[in-house]
Structure 1
Amino acid sequence: MQILKVDVAVIGAGTAGLVAYRAARAQGARTVMIEGGHYGTTCARVGCMPSKLLIAAAEAAHMLDAAAGFGVHAGEKRIDGVAVMDRVRRERDRFVGFVLDGVDSIPDADKLRGHARFTGPHTLVVDDGAGRVSEVEAARVVIASGSTPTRLPKLENVGPGVITSDEVFDWHDLPRSVAVIGTGVIGLELGQALARLGVRVSLYARGGSVAQLTDPVVLRKAGQVLREEIDLHFQTEIVKAEQDGDEVVLCMREGGEERCARFQYVLMAAGRTPNVADIGIEHAGLALGTNGVPLFDSRTMQCGTSHIFIAGDANNERPVLPEAADHGKIAGDNAGRYPDIRPGLRRAPLTAAFTEPNIVTLGASYKSLCEPGKPKFAIGQVSFENQGRSRVMLQNKGMLRVYGEYGSGRFLGAEMIAPRGEHLGHLLAWAVQARMTVDQMLEMPFYHPVIEEGVRTALRDLATELAKDASSTDPAEMEPGT
């Protein structure tokens, strides 16, 4: 058995793991990076990049459908599913290749292939699956083991027609029909994209959630807007699924009534699960949360007061690539210079679903602001139905709600389903991180005609509410229809 003694062992070579490795090395620590799967990161292989390639193709198809609204009439639309998926795979492989180039630049002595398991707080056993086992004695450890698509018990062992999002991007042609289980970011993005590419799609949600939204007004508007284009079902329960030839018979219960439908594929898109259950975490001497993830400090990524740090999707805090990179930097820095633990840079939260309209949340969420003990906050809003630039582009759908703190006037966050929301979200997230007040934001330049003028309208509405007496105002009273 090979025995390695290192200062820092990093479990996982995804976004968080790669950044953690480089950060620990920069601190002068002898570091090894352990990976049991493919190099290439979740984002590049099966996440953000291939999904955006599919969405780009869907947007091109949708533009042809929308052209008639401008008086522009194209010829017969033809979608070549083989060509669509060929480009998705080719470009996906290019993005993966860029990551692999970075991995290749890491010295071979710093890379260890195989599945890592804790056998003690400072020891790991790494099995490459081919009979070679190594033991790593590490003064510090960074857990960056990533996540995998959540699998639903009632859809297990049904047959080849039940898949996860990891398998979508290896298709060689577009399917005839897909049932998407889950209305989170992944399910909505893939479901809308496939529908726009001519695939018969139905989306099913166990509850009433839409992506990461928590604001009831924005959530209600998102459901209305998305239902105009997608066969979307809330409050549904999976009853059973059976493989029948090259199709899956899926039975769901909705409103007390059971219905069955046939689909070529049933796509499980009910989120992702941190990869901490199979790494011997019980031997690491850490306190665990109810989800099996070690308890950690989000400012330092340190697990308790231990020498172990956790970063990226493995800690399930904010499972998006920019956060994984920040987590990795903080964890790697602290593991490298341990026991000198320092808080790292945490940016304003920002999450986007690349549906059309985009669904974006940033800063403090509506739900978090409503928690007991939190100061009262004011709300401003704007509908995009009559917003000038949005109407010009025939993209006048959606709602933006912005939040501000009484007294200080500080801008706190926003939730939206909005045209070009990915850009509005960045603008507003920067304002949150800069701790700007609403009045300061309204002093910034706004050109005409731009969608950002909708932001100004919402901020003006918020400023009016902030001028009122906080003691006589309740956010619930502002909700339309309440």
Structure 2
Amino acid sequence: MNDIKADVAVIGAGTAGMAAFRAARLAGTSAVLIEGGELGTTCARVGCMPSKLLLATANGLHDAHSLAARGIEGTHALEADYAHVLDYVRRERDDFVKGVIDEVRSLPGGMLLRGEARFEAPTRLRIGGDTRVEAKSVVIATGAAPKVPDELKIFGDKLITSDDLFELHTLPKRIAVFGAGPIALELGQALARLDVEVFVFGKGGSVAGLKDTPVRDALAAALADEFYFDPDAKFEAMSLDDGQPTLRFTSPDGEAHVERFDLVLAATGRAPNLKPLALENAGIELNDKGVPLFDETTMQCGNSAIFIAGDCDGTRPWLHDAADEGKLAGDNAARFPDVRPVKRKVPFSLVFCEPQVVIVGASYDDLDKQMTVTGEVSFENQGRSRVMRQNRGLLHVYADAKTGKLRGAQGCGPAMEHLGHLLAWALQLELTLDEALKLPFYHPVVEEGLRSALKDADRKCYEERAETPPALPSAAGC
């Protein structure tokens, strides 16, 4: 048995794990990094980067097909060479992955341990069959993997996940996508815009995690203009008939369908990678899903020497949060037991379908509706959005009815990846509506739509206080 002693052992070499490992080393501790799977982060290999590469390609074709309305003819004849598209996505993806792998492989000898880790005791780990690590503290950063509902397994080798999609050498003619979250909507729309016939089936009516019903409905309507989309699908039967996935269902308009597909994509979310760890030996409390309970201001599991970070903690499944959590976990693992809490950044997520989706700040379900005003803007007649022919969507901004302090926002529309950042920064700085409206807004830009929502909320705040809002300058035509 190869016995190793370290101050900090980090399990997982993804975004969170690498951030934790760097932080622990920067603090001057001896640290080891343990990885039992493929090197390269989820984001680079099968997540953010390849999906955005596929989306960018699909959006380019879609935009070209839409040029006839502007007087540019002939682009309707453009088509995608699926083999070349997928080869391009893989080549670019592999370049992103290479950068991550190069960093890991450049570590001094003995710092990277290859093998699956499992707990023998709270700070003792077995790596594979021949290595044992005794550490003063441990960071769990094992990421997450696609969830595949049992009922879909009937489709056998015709069933794929988002991890498999980018390894295909061509695209199917028809595909059924299960899920209505970020992965399902981004990939479903990308495939539809590459002229694959796409059916997207959600469950329970949820769309992109939106809780604000008018915003959710606006997004669902926009997406349904491009492909079949039922956020609350009900099936009479699922089967594999003559090698083809076959679905029997009733559409929202009451029509009965029997549809056959070439492939089925399970995009129903991701689940923490925790089962191989033997957490029953770690001496920490788990929730009903088997995920360790932890303090998100320290990433510490109870009062133990175990910390957790990234997708495996089941809370904020976004890269920027994984990096933040990893650094925080690594810092506190290095200083254990002198653990120090930090104020976390404002919750902020995006979905890159079109219209894009933003969810930022307080959860809509947690808002005190009696003490909250909602500012609204529709993008249908917003000037710059119409110029770009991207005038679909709705943005709601929430603020305290008495103080005007911004609380959060949910929206779908053009340039939400940029408006979302402005909102996240304003929330992080704890701005009020009045303070936000004193900032400059150029013309003509999509940001003027954000200003309209802020002004609407501000007016409602003053109505609540029975006061008159101050006059604000406005640009013509917005």
Structure 2-normalised TM-score?
A: 0.94
The structural deviation recorded for 1:259 is 4.0
Q: Distance in 2 between matches of 1:368 and 1:230?
A: 33
The code of the aligned residue for 2:406 comes to F
Ranges in structure 2 where 5+ consecutive residues have no aligned partner: 467-478
2:206–2:232 CA contact under 8 A, matched in 1: no
Cα offset for 1:225? 1.2
Return the alpha-carbon distance in structure 1 between the equivalents of residues 151 and 187 of structure 2: 22
Amino acid at match of 2:152: L
Once the two structures are TM-superposed, the CA of residue 468 in structure 1 deviates from its matched residue by: 2.6
Matches of 2:258 and 2:13 in 1, distance apart? 42
The offset of 1:237, in angstroms, is: 3.6
**Which sits farther off after the overlay, 178-187 or 26-35?**
26-35
After the TM superposition, which residues 106-255 of structure 1 pair with which residues of structure 2 at under 5 Å, given as runs?
106-127=107-128, 132-156=129-153, 158-238=155-235, 240-244=237-241, 247-252=244-249
For 2:242 and 2:34, the matched residues in 1 are separated by 41
On the 8 A contact 1:376/1:470 being kept in 2, the answer is no
- Structure 1: unaligned runs, 5 residues or longer: 472-482
Partner amino acid, structure 2, of 1:411: L
The within-5 A match list for 1:14-53 is 14-53=14-53
Native 8 Å contact 2:154 2:239 kept in 1: no
Q: Secondary structure at the match of 1:170?
A: coil
Of 199-208 and 75-84, deviating more is 75-84
Secondary structure at the aligned position of 1:236 is classed as coil
SS at match of 1:57: helix
The verdict on how the C-alpha distance between 1:410 and 1:222 changes in structure 2, with shifts beyond 3 A counting, is same
| Counterparts of 1:319 and 1:106, CA distance in 2 | 27
- Residue 358 of structure 2 corresponds to which residue in structure 1? 360
Larger deviation: 72-81 or 142-151? 72-81
Distance 1:241 1:35 in 2: 38
Q: Which residue of 2 aligns with 1:80?
A: 81
2:97 match: secondary structure: helix
Contact in 2 for aligned 1:235/1:254 (Cα 8 Å):
no
Query: Does residue 461 of the first structure (1) align with residue 462 of the second (2)?
Result: no
Deviations 1:414-436 (A, max 9, x none): 11101011111011111000111
Comparing 170-179 with 448-457, greater Cα deviation is found at 170-179
- 3-state SS of paired residue (2:66): helix
Secondary structure of 2:157 counterpart: coil
Give the CA deviation at 1:157: 5.2
- Shift of the alpha carbon at 1:250? 3.0
Change (3 A) 1:464 1:12: same
Q: In the alignment, is the contact (CA less than 8 A) between 1:64 and 1:74 conserved in 2?
A: no
**What CA distance in whole angstroms lies between the structure 1 residues aligned with 2:344 and 2:242?**
50
CA 1:121–1:237 in structure 2 vs 1: closer, same or farther (change >3 Å)? Answer: farther
For 2:126 and 2:447, how far apart are their aligned partners in 1? 54
* Percent of matched pairs sharing the same residue: 49
Q: Kindly tell me: are residues 345 and 101 of structure 1, through their superposed partners in 2, closer, same or farther at Cα, counting changes over 3 Å?
A: farther
Three-state SS of the structure 2 residue aligned to 1:159 is helix
Distance apart, 1:410 and its partner CA = 0.9
Aligned twin of 2:386: 391
Q: Does 1:412 align with 2:416?
A: no
Report how many aligned residue pairs link the two structures: 464
2:398 equivalent in structure 1 = 403
Quote the residue 2:8 is aligned against. 8
- Aligned to 2:418, which of 401, 419, 423? 423
Show the counterpart of 1:474.
none
Q: TM-score, normalised by structure 1?
A: 0.93
SS in 1 for 2:463: coil
- 1:347 is matched with 345
Instruction: Assess if the C-alpha contact under 8 Å between 2:117 and 2:127 holds in 1.
Output: yes
* Cα distance in 1 for residues equivalent to 2:208 and 2:180: 6
Which of 315, 334, 337 aligns to 2:335? It is: 337
